[in-house]
Amino acid sequence: MKYIIYFGLCLLFSLIFEKIMKKINFPYVTGYLIAGIIIGPYALNIISLDFINDIEVLNDIALSFIALSIGAEFKLSFLKKIGKAPIIIAIFEALITTIVIDIILIIFKVEIPLALSLGAIGSATASAATIMIIKQYNAKGSLSELILSVVALDDAVALIIFGISITIIEVITQNKNVSLLISFLNPIKEIILALLLGSFLAVFLIILNKFFKEKTSKTILIIIFVLFSLGISRTINVPDLISTMVMAAIFINFSNDANKTLNVIDQMTPPLLIMFFFLSGAYLDLSKILGVGVIGIIYLIFRVLGKVSGAIVGGIVAKKDFQTTKNLGFSLIPQAGIALGLATTMGNLLPNYADSIKTVILSSTIIFELIGPLVTKYILIKTKNIDIIK
């Protein structure tokens, strides 16, 4: 019974802070995060840590619906318009970020396994906050289009970089004769399986969608398949966000009434997304910032520099407009979900460095999640992708 009250309090405080953010012209997502921090277990402790841990599955489901929303943007006309540029930019921004963090930390005499760990995690970007900003302000333009496509690909690139980094670390720390090729192919295999799963689910979704005429039934069907995508992906250990994005992309292109159905989904999911950001805020322990140290400061600064310079280099290689790509990197600052998961994985692999890794990543997550949405909004206004400030 207490948990039901907690749910109500989470949504109530989120709405209050949404109103405050609207008054001061801040992104709503910032308000949700702040609400979670304030009444969460590390501040006023109105909402308990047990509650947050027990309903963690809500975060997974919310992220799946965000992935559905991203995938639905990939219409064939859109893909033809953007071309191969997002793939090239996603590779360069993630790879250069990793290399920059690795090199600078090693120059500052940070132990190589710790430096490589933080570099690998630094490549990941949290798409949820960025997507929420684009949706809240109905951003339209070349930059917002590029952001949508790059963040959709970022997770896949980050997983490959992470797999390679783990192999290098194992060679250094355990004297293992591990194949770099295998470490490169393993995450690619997982991504291919996710693509196949998403395609398989999309085919069945399209077929079943023809048998249901009522809008309500079609909406429920989409929800069922989002849950199937999440559950099956986790069961066979493949990236669930990728499988859900692929499913949505195929559905939007090959189902006649997909747009109408997905619009209804968008209207139903706000409470779930609000809870996602509220809980993300509640997870954040502000006291961790005090322990970030020199390594954390270096990580913060050079992750941003890596994202910005990587996006620029990728844009040059892809022959994209410089004015667009020079701003893109700043929209890739937010870091949360996948980064925290990778930090846990790396901590298990390197128990001697686990505390350092978690402290740096948790601290940076707090800063990137609070500052990232504001920076993204500013960049979108600056590039005239947002016309009217609501």
- pLDDT per position as a tens digit, 317-358: 988 888 778 888 888 888 766 676 677 667 777 788 777 887
**DSSP code of residue 175:** -
The CATH number of 56-382 is 1.20.1530.20
Report the pLDDT value the prediction gives residue 292, as an integer from 0 to 100: 65
* C-alpha distances out from residue 40 to 45, 239, 291, Å: 5, 29, 20
**What confidence tier does 390 reach under pLDDT thresholds 50, 70, 90?**
very low
* C-alpha distances out from residue 276 to 40, 269, 280, 281, 365, Å: 13, 11, 6, 9, 15
Among 167, 92, 155, 151, CA closest to 121: 155
296: Cβ contacts below 8 Å, ≥ 6 apart: 359, 360, 363, 364
Query: How far is Cα 268 from Cα 116, in angstroms, rounded to an integer?
Result: 41
User: Which residue do the tokens 């396994």 mark?
Assistant: 113
Report the pLDDT value the prediction gives residue 336, as an integer from 0 to 100: 67
Among 65, 378, 35, CA closest to 227: 65
Residue 40 CB-half CA count within 13 A? 23
**Dihedral-angle region of residue 45 (phi above 0 means left; psi in -120 to 50 means alpha; beta otherwise):** left
Amino acid letter, residue 102: D
User: Among 140-154, 190-204, 329-343, whose mean pLDDT is lowest?
Assistant: 329-343
Among 368, 355, 284, CA closest to 49: 284
Q: Report how far apart the first and last C-alpha atoms of the chain are (Å, whole number).
A: 38
Query: How far is Cα 225 from Cα 220, in angstroms, rounded to an integer?
Result: 9
Dihedral sign for Cα 246, 252, 255, 259, please. positive
Report the pLDDT value the prediction gives residue 258, as an integer from 0 to 100: 77
Report the pLDDT value the prediction gives residue 179, as an integer from 0 to 100: 59
- pLDDT per position as a tens digit, 9-58: 889 999 998 899 888 877 888 888 889 888 888 888 888 888 887 877 88
Query: How far is Cα 374 from Cα 364, in angstroms, rounded to an integer?
Result: 16
- Better pLDDT: 287 or 22: 22
**Which backbone phi and psi does 188 adopt, to 5 degrees?**
-65, -40
Output the pTM of the full model: 0.74
Q: Mean per-residue pLDDT for 293-313?
A: 89
Q: Quote the mean pLDDT of the chain.
A: 81
Query: How far is Cα 320 from Cα 298, in angstroms, rounded to an integer?
Result: 30
Q: Do 98 and 165 form a contact (C-beta atoms < 8 A)?
A: yes
If 0-12 CB within 10 Å is exposed, 13-18 middle and 19+ buried, where does residue 8 land?
A: exposed
- pLDDT per position as a tens digit, 57-96: 887 888 788 778 878 877 777 677 777 888 899 889 999 9
Rg (CA), the chain: 20
Q: Mean per-residue pLDDT for 222-244?
A: 88
Amino acid letter, residue 381: I
Q: Diameter of the chain by CA atoms? A: 64
